[in-house]
Amino acid sequence: MRLHVSDDELATCVSCGLCLPHCPTFRVTGEEALSPRGRIAAIRAVHLEDAPITSEFVSFMETCVQCRGCEPACPSGVPYGHLQDGVRQSLAAQHRITPRWQRVGYSFLPRHRMLLLGSSALAVAQRLHLVPKRAGLPRLPLRRGTAVQSTGGDVWMFTGCVMDAWLRDTHRSTTKVLDHLGITYRTPGSGGGCCGALHTHAGLTDPARALAASVMASMPGDAPIVVNSAGCGAALKEYGHLLGTPEAAAFSARVKDVHEFLAEHVDRLHPTKHLGRVIVQDPCHLRHVQKAHAGVRAVLAPVAELVELDDDGVCCGAGGAYSAMQPELAGQIRDRKLEAIARAGSGVVASANPGCAMHLAAAGLVVRHPIDLLAEAL
């Protein structure tokens, strides 16, 4: 069966295996089929040799965290993320992945009022001990305070769906830092509430494209678009590929991770407090996809003693909805990250992606967004 992948992109893999040590699922299982090379071989068999789509094939694909740690390790420049997105598009079209309940759940993400109401109900249910701990959810806020209010037009501040419903405090920290620098911001207009990252990862490409077009329309002009969720930022930076238009490519070029943006202004920050040891955890979509992880170090270095992990930036196992869909593997991958964090010694963990922060916090760690730390130090 022909999958939604490019023959040219599929041909770039030379099966050298240099990516294997960087793949979290290969590291915990040692199975070739759960490595990038093994998955690419399986994709080739289906796409080029008409092998059947078996339940094993579906499992090899579903167990991929989509962390893209294999991409920077690859000397041939295999665009693995594009291949995996395309395979998932084909599998979702056949209803082999992404069950109906998940599709219904994702359809609520762009409906922000409903998402806020649902999140409040979930927060109440948590207080009544009606949400099992294994759900891995953070303690959701009963009150989230007022939404970000626009102050001007220097930059757009993308506030997102879950990020705004669950972690609005981090938006407040972001505005505090921007206010400190005298940079004004506005929030997206109607239709700019959800980037579609989860939809893309689930193979729901058509809804993801519709959301991308809507988000682009919600932030016109040429002002930079500042994003404080690594996963959302990566998705916005890939609209050029997702939509394949010059307009989408131009939009993506305006997108900046908040740390990447602030790194250009770090000499104008005037901290009043030193935060001590901070262990930096790089979200995959900041390090491997956006390649913007240096920005976190640039903005935190003046206010903290930064501690690096020794695991070469391997994934923590969060992967958007991965920790909910593949809890066993996600837990094994996280265990390795916890060991690396333990080796780093004492200190608060800084993570710039809500999914990673929640996944690690569910294991008992104190995890904070770098911007929350920076705002505290100002």
Does 33 bind ligand SF4 (CB under 6 A)? Our answer is no
171 or 199: CB nearest ligand SF4: 199
Region binding ligand SF4 by CB under 6 A among candidate stretches 65-73, 201-209, 256-264, 359-367: 65-73
19 or 162: CB nearest ligand SF4: 19
Does 78 bind ligand SF4 (CB under 6 A)? Our answer is yes
Contacting residue, 7, 17, 32, 301, with ligand SF4 by CB under 6 A: 17
Contacting residue, 57, 60, 80, 158, with ligand SF4 by CB under 6 A: 80
Does 79 bind ligand SF4 (CB under 6 A)? Our answer is no
92 or 374: CB nearest ligand SF4: 92
Does 57 bind ligand SF4 (CB under 6 A)? Our answer is no
Nearest to 159 by CA among 149, 171, 150: 171
71 or 372: CB nearest ligand SF4: 71
| Residues 6+ positions from 286 with CB-CB distance below 8 Å | 230, 233, 234, 257, 292, 293, 296, 352, 353
> Segment 171-230, which members bind ligand SF4 (CB under 6 A)?
none
Contacting residue, 5, 13, 148, 365, with ligand SF4 by CB under 6 A: 13
Contacting residue, 66, 170, 187, 228, with ligand SF4 by CB under 6 A: 66
The sign of the torsion formed by the CA atoms of 206, 207, 211, 212 equals negative
49 or 222: CB nearest ligand SF4: 49
Contacting residue, 10, 43, 61, 69, with ligand SF4 by CB under 6 A: 69
In the complex, the smallest distance separating the C-beta of residue 53 from ligand SF4, rounded to whole angstroms, is 18
- Judged by the rule CB under 6 A, the positions of this chain that interact with ligand SF4 are 13-19, 22-25, 36-37, 39-40, 64-70, 73-74, 76, 78, 80, 315
